Amino acid sequence: MSRSSDKKVIAFVLKGYPRLSETFILNEILLLEELGYPLHIVAMRNPGETKIHGDVERVKAPVSYVPDYFWQFFGAFMLSHLRVLLRYPLSYLPALHFAAWRSLKRWSSSTIKRFSQAVYFVDRVVPNAQFGQYYAH
């Protein structure tokens, strides 16, 4: 029995993909695929680089991009917040409280933006995949 048939998918969560400057991550992905591990790449943004490593085309794993522009995707983010709140209220509410507190403490909207991306990921990507592990860079 091959590893891909007896293991759940590994979610490979990255800040951006593909990135020429992070060839070591590309090498990890290719090695894991060679060993038979099923992967799904989740990128918090598309870096939009014009030059990419030639080996990117060898990657078999599907890639999901989480929206990076908060205001441009405000409606999608809010819908995901509502759905996750209704599905997981006991987990969502403390996480929201922490994200809001941290944003106010640091006078930065970055935490709320990243929290919204995580909520979107839980709402839109996780239900469509059979993730057994999460690996973040």
Q: Return the pLDDT at 90.
A: 97
Distance of CA 126 to the CA centre of its chain: 9
Q: 6 or 128, which is more confident? A: 128
Is it the case that residue 4 has pLDDT exceeding 80? Answer: no
Q: List pLDDT tens digits, range 93-129.
A: 999 999 999 999 988 888 999 999 999 999 998 887 7
Give the pTM.
Answer: 0.81
Q: Phi and psi (nearest 5°) for 136? A: -115, 140
Domain residue extents for the chain: 3-136
What gap in Å lies between CA 8 and CA 5, rounded to an integer? 8
Q: For Cα atoms 94, 95, 101, give the angle at the middle one, nearest 5 degrees.
A: 90
Q: List pLDDT tens digits, range 11-69.
A: 999 998 998 888 899 999 999 999 999 999 999 988 888 888 888 899 999 999 999 88
Q: Return the pLDDT at 1.
A: 42
